[in-house]
């Protein structure tokens, strides 16, 4: 397929509510998912929403690499997966604060409060339904990507803008640690 540019904060497609996918099994949606995978692979990261490449449809892809899991029992690794027309339901009142970055806000990060555990559901390209209850990083990445489908970027969820800034400045100040990187294999 092809690598698409990632839209940055301020682009109108990122501010609108994405449209539901009418036919998840269509060749056009399969092609969109392939473009999203190629685009994500080209820039790195753990997830991408269709609006981030200029397509206002309710499609996200994400992965949970082993080095990003938190050790919570419901925060397991997940290979790259697509969700079409996803839905999220918070499970309980617990809120977790965690650092997030975004391909649409390059070079910056902030501490974002989110429900600690969620149930999510959505369709795969083959029409099968995925439904899972997750916590930790897994819950965070799903919520982050699905926010894009509702015109939300993570700074809109922040409650303390003092924890929002350029990644290198936050790390240099000791405010934030670098995001975990995959272990090097020699």
By annotation, the residues acting in catalysis are 145
What is the C-alpha to C-alpha distance for residues 55 and 25, in angstroms, rounded to an integer? 17
Q: Are 177 and 123 in contact (CB under 8 A)?
A: no
List strand residue ranges (DSSP E) for the chain, in order: 47-49, 59-64, 78-90, 95-102, 105-115, 117-123, 129-135, 164-166
State the pairing for strand pair 105-115/164-166.
Answer: antiparallel
What is the C-alpha to C-alpha distance for residues 135 and 115, in angstroms, rounded to an integer? 9
Helix (H, G, I), strand (E, B) or coil at 13: helix
What is the C-alpha to C-alpha distance for residues 82 and 123, in angstroms, rounded to an integer? 8
């Amino acid at each position: 397929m092809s690598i698409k540019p990632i839209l940055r904060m301020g682009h109108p497609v990122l501010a609108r509510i994405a449209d539901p996918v009418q036919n998840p099994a269509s060749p056009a949606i399969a092609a969109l998912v392939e473009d999203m995978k190629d685009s994500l692979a080209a820039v790195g990261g753990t997830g991408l929403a269709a609006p981030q490449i200029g397509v206002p449809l309710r499609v996200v892809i994400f992965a949970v690499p082993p080095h990003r899991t938190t050790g919570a029992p419901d925060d397991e690794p997940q290979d790259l997966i697509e969700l079409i027309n996803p839905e999220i339901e918070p499970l309980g009142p617990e809120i977790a604060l965690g650092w997030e970055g975004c391909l649409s806000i390059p070079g910056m990060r902030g501490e974002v409060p989110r429900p600690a555990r969620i149930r999510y559901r959505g369709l795969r390209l083959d029409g099968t339904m995925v439904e899972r209850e997750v916590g930790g990083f897994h819950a965070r990445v799903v919520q982050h990507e699905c926010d894009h489908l509702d015109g939300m970027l993570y700074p809109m969820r922040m409650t303390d803008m003092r924890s929002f800034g350029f990644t290198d400045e936050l790390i240099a100040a000791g405010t934030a640690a670098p995001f975990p990187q995959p272990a090097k294999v020699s």
